[in-house]
Amino acid sequence: MSSPSTPEIRSSPRIPARVPVVVEGRDVHHAPVREESETLLVNDGGAMLALNSEFQLHDRARITNRASGGVLDCRIAWRSSSKINNRWSYGVALLDAGDNFWGIQK
């Protein structure tokens, strides 16, 4: 977490982008989850998205880019403290992110 005197370091700038995704993993009750959504923001190392499912911080999940068919594991790096528009907001960090997983023109 950053403070006003320590800026947060990112692998690349955040870009607003709606990329269709499927997120699979296990929720806070360890039940299997498969949910379709879309990203809100992306960067080379991850994304922000909203889900109905409730994950815990540091949980692992698998994310599929429905536009490209690419699949990567990810880690829940951030979660909103409450639901926004009836959904949880998440920041996910891609594990072993390759070149332009999101397929976004920069």
What is the tens place of the pLDDT at every residue in 39-71? 999 999 999 999 999 999 999 999 999 999 999
Residue 57: per-residue pLDDT: 96
The neighbour count for residue 100, using CB atoms within 10 Å, is 13
List C-alpha distances in Å: 75 to 1, 59, 81, 87, 93. Answer: 16, 6, 17, 18, 5
- When computed from its CA atoms, the radius of gyration of the chain, rounded to whole angstroms, is 13
| pTM for this model (two decimals) | 0.86
User: What domains can be seen in the chain, in order of their start residue?
Assistant: 15-94 (2.40.10.220)
List C-alpha distances in Å: 54 to 3, 40, 46, 70. Answer: 27, 18, 18, 23
Residue 1 has pLDDT above 50, yes or no: no
Q: Rounded CA gap, 79 and 54, in Å?
A: 9
Mean predicted confidence (pLDDT) in 66-91: 96
